[in-house]
Structures are given as C-alpha cells and as structure tokens.
Structure 1
Amino acid sequence: MLAKSYSPELDDVRSILNDICNFIENKCKFLISGFGQEYWPVTVYADLPVFLEQLPNVIKQISLGNLTEIEFYEQGIERRLLLEPNGDFYKLTCISQTNWQPDPSNETINALELKNMLSEFLESFLNITYSIAPHLENNQWLKNWLNP
C-alpha cells in the first residue's frame, strides 16, 4: 500500500504519478516499440510518469480528431511523437533528438485503435493506482488530470 499525503504548496499530480511509478517500478514493465526499434530504452521510474502526465490530454485530442504529440524528454530517450489525424487514421512521426534515428520515421494506425490502446493503458494504470493507494480515488489533482 502506498499511503502518502501531499502538500498543495509542494506537490501536484506529477508528485502522485512519480510516487506510483516509483512504487511499481520493480513490479511492472513499461514497453514501447516501433519506428524500427523493438523496445525503446524507457523505464517505469523515469519515462512512465512523463508519458502518463500527457496521456489524458492526448486521448482527448485523438477523440476530437486533433493534432497532438507525446514528448519523451528524459535523458537517454529524447524523442517526440507527432500524432497527425488523416481521415480514420493517425500518422505518427517519430522525431529523435539523439543519434538514434527512426527507420521508418512514420507509421500509421487506425484512430479508434490508437484511442482504445491508450485508453486501456490509462485504465490499467488507474486500476493499479487505486489498488495500491485507494485514498487517491477522490483526489482532485487526479480528477483534474483525467479531465483536461
């Protein structure tokens, strides 16, 4: 169980996301693949909170059919995914800010499939969060984060 209180002056939703990811670091894996790399060098501790922070807004933008992006800015990964709507699909462009270069740099996915995949990921994370920290179910920071 993760039982921690948060300070409105010192913390925000990122504090919660970081604490949950730190707690589950040795119990879960965070896997991303694509653009010519079977497994990206991402970690639960450093990269998952960054991804999660952006996730509800990305899902919302996809639902609206808007252009959006996901930034992986932690040292060692430093990539940006540009998600561009194209009819019933999204064109994903991977932009590397390191020596690694995506090959191919573009991939296409059905918009509904993309939205469902990201929504299921978020739902799984929330299930884990509430199972290890049930006191967070009514946390206003999490509610605001989930409804951008």
Structure 2
Amino acid sequence: MEKLPSPSPLTDGERHDVSIDINSIFIIACERLEETGMVFFKMSGFGRDPWPVEVYPDLACILEQLVEAINAIRQDNYPFDLELYEQGTNKTIIFNEKKDAHTIEVKCRDFVPQRGDHYRGAWRPNPDKELVKKNDILSQLVELKASFIQIVQNAYPDLATEDLFIEWCKS
C-alpha cells in the first residue's frame, strides 16, 4: 500500500456506527480512502502485475484476515488462506510451508471455480504457485498493517479511537 498525503479527517457530523465488529471499521475506512484517491493498494504475482484490486473492497477483505495470516506465519501454522472474495478478483491465496523452514509455497486459485463461456476470458494465475521467503512475506504483511494503522490514525481519528480498532492494532 502506497502512502500519499492524508485526506482530511471526518467531521463530527460524520460519525459512524462501528460497534458491530472490526470489519465495519475496515469497510468504512477503506470506502473513505477509496473515495479520496489518495491511497493505493497493489498486489502482484502469479503472472499478473498489478492485480485488479482496489482499496475498497479488496483491501478491506485482506484486513479482515491480516492478523490471522501474520500469526500463522510467525507460529508456522500452515496451511492458511487469504481470500479475495469480492467480485472482480475472486482468488484464494494458499500458504504452505516448504521443507526448509525459511520458504513458503504460495498457490493461487479461483475462490469460486469458474465454469462456462462467461469465464473463458477470466484471468488464470500462471504460474499458479510461487516460492517466497517467509521473512519477506511476513515483512510485507506487517508493513501493510502498520501503514493502514498510521493512515487511519492520521486521517480518521474517530475510527482510530474506537476500542475495536485499538484492540486490532495491538493484536
């Protein structure tokens, strides 16, 4: 995620009900960030650079799963998935540890199997698996979380002070 100048914070009249769950905060923040056009989310790999992802809804999908992914890598708890289930991307990224403890095999497949003429032009990962260094992917995920936290704290202090967000930041 590339960081650009922060958008202006929400005004008091724009308070949102974010008490449902942390995903509500992710959705609100990512919708606002998408509207500003000042923050970009980029993914690449599996023969495609860049992927057709956006801050909203795709980054919100990743944020829902981010803490679990970071913890899975740190605790060597494989396999685990990151799902980009929103229309347009519809991919599952599967992480499997390789025999050497420093490498992760990462596979990409369709979230929902694509069948029929409608999907003939859909992007298919090629290659469908890649090897990455465990520390590299862990660093990227940790940096993504840290960048998102900083942006929300700067741009939307009312969201950043929500108990659910503070708890997520500490996890």
Distance (Å, rounded) in 1 between the aligned partners of 2:77 and 2:109: 19
Is the counterpart of residue 103 in structure 1 residue 130 in structure 2? Answer: no
RMSD: 1.7
Q: Does 1:34 align with 2:57?
A: no
C-alpha displacement at 1:146, in angstroms? 4.2
Counterparts in 2 of 1:22 and 1:12: CA distance versus 1, 3 Å = same
- Deviation beyond 4 Å, 4+ runs, structure 1: none
Which of 52, 59, 67 does residue 56 from structure 1 map onto? 67
1:134 aligns to what?
157
The aligned counterpart of 1:69 is 81
Which residue in the other structure is 1:89 paired with?
103
Scaled by the length of structure 2, the TM-score of the pair is 0.78
Identical-residue share of aligned pairs (%): 29
Change (3 A) 1:104 1:6: same
Specify the code of the residue in structure 1 equivalent to 2:165: L
Greater Rg by CA: 2
| Aligned equivalent of 1:46 | 57
Give the conservation status (yes or no) of the 8 Å contact 2:43–2:50.
yes
2:6 is matched with none
Closer/same/farther in 2, CA of residues 21 and 137 from structure 1, 3 Å limit: closer
The letter of the residue matching 1:23 is R
**What residue in structure 1 maps to residue 137 of structure 2?**
114
TM-score by length of 1: 0.89
How far is 1:140 from its partner?
2.4
Q: 1:54 Cα shift?
A: 0.6
Distance 1:7 1:65, change over 3 A: closer
Contact 1:2 1:23 in 2 (8 A): no
